[in-house]
Copies of this chain bind each other. A is one copy, B any other.
Amino acid sequence: MNIPGLARRYLPILDWGARYSRGTFTNDVIVAVIVTVMLIPQSLAYALLAGLPVQVGLFASMAPLVLYAIFGTSRTLAVGPVAVVSLMTAAAVAPLAAQGTPEYVGAAVALALVSGLLLLAMGLLRLGFLANFLSHPVVSGFIMASGLQIAASQLAPVLGIHAEGETFLELIVPLALNLVHTNPYTAAIGIGSLLFLFWARSGLKSLLRRMGLGERIAGTLAKIGPAVALVVTTLAVWGFGLADRGVSIVGTVPQGLPRIALPPLDVGLWTSILVPALLISIIGYVESISVALTLAAKRRQRVDPDQELIALGAANVGAAVSGGFPVTGGLARSVVNFEAGAETPAAGAFTAVGIALVTLFLTPLLFFLPKATLAATIIIAVLSLVDLGALKRIFDFSKADFAAMASTILVTLVMGVEVGLVVGVGLSIFLHLYATSRPHVAVVGQIPGTTHFRNVARHAVVTDPEIVSLRVDASLYFPNARFIEDLVNEAVAANPAVRHLILECPGVNTIDASALESLEAINNRLKDGGIAFHLSEVKGPVMDRLKRSHFLAELTGKVHLTQFDAVASIKPDLARSTLGVPRTE
């Protein structure tokens, strides 16, 4: 690939930027204003959730947006701090430094850098497929448990209680014990904000509609409920002097843009955050790509999964060098961006300008902002992550998937996010291997009037005592290699008259070296017993591979194109007379 080709591949901005018009510009600026208003409370709140000073949340909402606009392939994805990644950041950094120290902030910034470099590496090496190893039930279980844990962690600031802990269990017990220490002023603000925000999610939109606003503008304005709560409660704290009554406030936020600097090059620190950074990268990527694909499908746009890794990697490196913490594409903000009508990633870049203006000029206004309001914002945002209906649906569909999901939820709640995620992925892989180690097997016979063969237990079919036909519904590979041997042994023992054993292989998508050993053992044992061993319906790629071994030369029977051909070559009369019978079903 030449230089312009490479540039076009890795810089999607060249594509949409060339066709950028004045009309699009005006539209994107309007979108940016709406998204900025929505992002301010979120950025502050998620910084607090990660245990960081609020301005770190603002820093993480500038450079990443600009970099995503340059490298990203989604037209509508909005990156920045999100709930689950902020929780994972807190879990990763807490063991390394005490909250409130410069070391804690430094570790969070380093986490963004390492996570960004990992994402860039995965993108350049085209390792996006790694995200596929997280099954849907594991991801949704993990996000559900994270949501519950985040909500539990925010109940203490909502009520003005001091309670610390890392896992759901560690959080919920001291919270219950300290309920008597609730600060009434904080609780009034916190619970009031909660109720208002809860109502705003459904009621505000219909109220605005009744006030004569259009469907879309009412829906978008309803999303700025958190900004309204923020302004009202800040004014209340200031007006009634509630900071003196024990209401915890944000306080002084340093004014001005972040200094661009590399995080300290501390190899020991980088090594100790490597595993959490990897988990954050993968979860962040899965969340982001899901949102991007969903929104792109609605407008029939394309998203390139490998380029998205590069864009998120650049966004996180950008967050790190401008003093921010790990970011990713978030559902809530992307939906606002999408519904407000963002046409190009430039809307994100303009949002960054909006956040920068706030950081430059408006931070003094945040002095009296009560932390309880921000906590309420977070609780309302994460409640939408908890989807109990999904548990029921998955339980009905697949017990193995449900087991993986339930275990992910339980382990995440009891032992924390990192252990929960690793256990969930490990368990879902193990359960898959376990299921294929004891595959479904059918004894098959010919459906009268056809050349098709089906399970004798489900269909009225014709069989012959001298032929046993087994259909194995699994690839033949190491977890089930010995199972197949036992299966054939038992089938032969149960059918003393058998002279031919046919393994019908339409479900055999691959045969590995372990299974080849087993097939050779089966062939030898059947040969000793005077039974011919046949295969049928072997797929092309499997056949190609068998030809590279000695198995076909040693096979006592033949490999037949179809199961009908196999039976017809052994018992031509039987196969043809069955075919002649009119089909009854």
Residues of A within 8 A of B (CB): 129, 132-137, 297, 305, 393-394, 396-398, 400-401, 428-429, 432-440, 442, 450-452, 455, 458, 473-475, 477-483, 506-510, 512-514, 516-517, 521, 525, 537, 539-541, 545, 548-549, 561-562
Q: Give the complex CA separation of A482 and B139 in angstroms.
A: 14
Q: Give the complex CA separation of A437 and B305 in angstroms.
A: 15
Q: Give the complex CA separation of A159 and B231 in angstroms.
A: 85
Q: Give the complex CA separation of A400 and B562 in angstroms.
A: 28
Task: Name the B residues within 8 Å of A305 (CB-CB).
Answer: 482
* Contacts A133-B433, A562-B452 given; does A396 touch B548 at CB 8 Å: yes
* Contacts A397-B549, A452-B562, A512-B400 given; does A539 touch B473 at CB 8 Å: yes
Interface CB pairs A-B, < 8 A, 15? A129-B437, A132-B479, A133-B437, A136-B514, A137-B513, A393-B549, A396-B548, A397-B513, A397-B549, A400-B512, A401-B514, A432-B512, A455-B540, A475-B509, A506-B506
10 closest A-B pairs by CB: A135-B478, A506-B506, A136-B514, A401-B513, A473-B509, A135-B514, A507-B509, A440-B541, A132-B479, A394-B513
Task: Name the B residues within 8 Å of A483 (CB-CB).
Answer: 132
Task: Name the B residues within 8 Å of A433 (CB-CB).
Answer: 133, 429
Return A445 CB to nearest CB of chain B, in Å. 14
Closest to A137 in B: B513
Is the CB–CB distance between B478 and A516 below 8 Å?
no
Closest to A136 in B: B514
Partner of A439, one of B137, B428, B434, B509: B509
Return A301 CB to nearest CB of chain B, in Å. 12
Q: Give the complex CA separation of A440 and B396 in angstroms.
A: 30
List 14 additional contacts besides A129-B438, A436-B510; criterion CB under 8 Å: A132-B437, A132-B478, A133-B479, A135-B514, A136-B478, A136-B514, A397-B545, A398-B512, A398-B545, A440-B539, A452-B561, A473-B509, A506-B537, A507-B508
Partner of A510, one of B435, B437, B442: B435
Task: Name the B residues within 8 Å of A474 (CB-CB).
Answer: 475, 509
Q: Give the complex CA separation of A508 and B436 in angstroms.
A: 12
Q: Give the complex CA separation of A129 and B438 in angstroms.
A: 9
Is the CB–CB distance between B397 and A514 below 8 Å?
no
Return A492 CB to nearest CB of chain B, in Å. 12
Return A370 CB to nearest CB of chain B, in Å. 41
Q: Give the complex CA separation of A458 and B438 in angstroms.
A: 32
Is the CB–CB distance between B507 and A539 below 8 Å?
yes
